[in-house]
Amino acid sequence: MADDSDGEGFPLHKAVFENDLQGLSRLIRKIDVSTKDKHGNTALHLAVMLGRKECVQLLLKHDAPVKVKNGLGWTVLSEAVSYGNRPTISSLVRKFRQQSRDQMEDRRPNLAEALNRISDFYMELKWDFQSWVPLVSRILPSDICKIYKSGASIRLDTTLVDFSDMRWERGDISFIFNGHANPNESLTVLDNISKVFQKVRQEENEMEIEDEVDLLMSTDILAAQISTKSISFSRAQSGWIFREDKKELVAGQYDSELYIVHGLMLESRKRREHLSSDDLQKNKALLESFTKGSNFQSFGQNGAPLRRNSLVPPTEKKVTWDNYISSDVNNYPRLGRDLVYKESSKSFKATIAMSNEFPLSVEMLLNVLEVIAPFKHFSKLRDFITFKLPSGFPVKVEIPILPTVTAKITFQHFEFRDDIPKHLFMVPKNYIEDPTRFPDL
CA 256 to centroid of chain Cα atoms: 30
Q: What is the dihedral of CA 358, 359, 361, 364, to 10 degrees?
A: -130
DSSP 328-374: PTT-PPP-SSPP-EEEEEEEEEEEEEEES--SS-HHHHHHHHHHHTT
Q: Exposure string (b/e) for 135-160, b if CB count within 10 Å is 16 or more? A: eeeeebeebebebbbbbbbbbbbbeb
Given 340, 362, 383, the domain boundary residue is: 340
Asked if 249 and 384 sit in the same domain, the reply is yes
Q: Could you tell me which residue, 46 or 183, shows the higher pLDDT?
A: 46
Q: Could you tell me which residue, 247 or 320, shows the higher pLDDT?
A: 320
The per-residue pLDDT of the chain, averaged, comes to 83
Asked if 208 and 292 sit in the same domain, the reply is no
Q: Is residue 295 part of a domain?
A: yes
Q: Is residue 309 part of a domain?
A: yes
pLDDT value, residue 275: 92
Q: Is residue 6 part of a domain?
A: no
Q: CB-based burial of residue 262 (10 Å sphere; 0-12 exposed, 13-18 middle, 19+ buried)? A: middle
Mean pLDDT on 207-235: 84
Q: Which region among 62-71, 212-221, 394-403 has the lowest average model confidence (pLDDT)?
A: 394-403
Identify the band that residue 195 occupies on the pLDDT scale cut at 50, 70 and 90: very high
Q: What is the CATH number of the domain that holds 298?
A: 1.25.40.20
**High-pLDDT (> 70) share of the chain, %:** 82
Asked if 182 and 235 sit in the same domain, the reply is yes
pLDDT value, residue 5: 46
Q: Could you tell me if 13 and 327 are in contact, meaning their C-beta atoms sit under 8 angstroms apart?
A: no
Identify the band that residue 204 occupies on the pLDDT scale cut at 50, 70 and 90: low
Number of structural domains in the chain:
2
Given 289, 313, 340, the domain boundary residue is: 340
Given 340, 358, 373, the domain boundary residue is: 340
Q: Is residue 379 part of a domain?
A: yes
Asked if 398 and 365 sit in the same domain, the reply is yes
Give dist(CA 265, CA 399) in Å, integer: 10
The residues near 161 (Cβ < 8 Å, ≥ 6 apart) are 168, 169, 170, 171, 173
Asked if 193 and 280 sit in the same domain, the reply is no
Provide the 8-state DSSP code for 389.
P
Q: Is residue 348 part of a domain?
A: yes
Q: Could you tell me which residue, 202 or 415, shows the higher pLDDT?
A: 415
Asked if 234 and 357 sit in the same domain, the reply is yes
Asked if 373 and 332 sit in the same domain, the reply is no
Identify the band that residue 279 occupies on the pLDDT scale cut at 50, 70 and 90: confident
Domain carrying residue 248: 118-275+341-441
pLDDT value, residue 377: 66
Instruction: Indicate the residue type of 190.
Output: L
Asked if 228 and 266 sit in the same domain, the reply is yes
Angle between helices 76-83 and 206-218 (to 10 degrees): 70
- Asked whether the predicted pLDDT for residue 399 surpasses 60, the reply is yes
Q: Which region among 5-19, 79-93, 299-313, 383-397 has the lowest average model confidence (pLDDT)?
A: 299-313
pLDDT value, residue 294: 43
pLDDT value, residue 140: 58
Asked if 365 and 288 sit in the same domain, the reply is no
Q: Could you tell me which residue, 328 or 235, shows the higher pLDDT?
A: 328
Identify the band that residue 105 occupies on the pLDDT scale cut at 50, 70 and 90: confident
Q: Could you tell me if 348 and 406 are in contact, meaning their C-beta atoms sit under 8 angstroms apart?
A: yes
pLDDT value, residue 324: 96
Asked if 270 and 185 sit in the same domain, the reply is yes
Give the model confidence (pLDDT) of 293-316 as tens digits. 444 455 555 555 678 899 999 998
Q: Is residue 308 part of a domain?
A: yes
Q: Could you tell me which residue, 286 or 293, shows the higher pLDDT?
A: 286
Asked if 61 and 189 sit in the same domain, the reply is no
Identify the band that residue 32 occupies on the pLDDT scale cut at 50, 70 and 90: very high
pLDDT value, residue 48: 97
Q: Is residue 364 part of a domain?
A: yes
Short-list 280, 299, 236, CA closest to 262? 236
- Asked whether the predicted pLDDT for residue 28 surpasses 90, the reply is yes
- Asked whether the predicted pLDDT for residue 98 surpasses 60, the reply is yes
Asked if 303 and 435 sit in the same domain, the reply is no
pLDDT value, residue 441: 59
Q: Is residue 105 part of a domain?
A: no
Mean pLDDT on 23-41: 95
- Asked whether the predicted pLDDT for residue 171 surpasses 60, the reply is yes
Mean pLDDT on 158-178: 70
- Asked whether the predicted pLDDT for residue 226 surpasses 50, the reply is yes
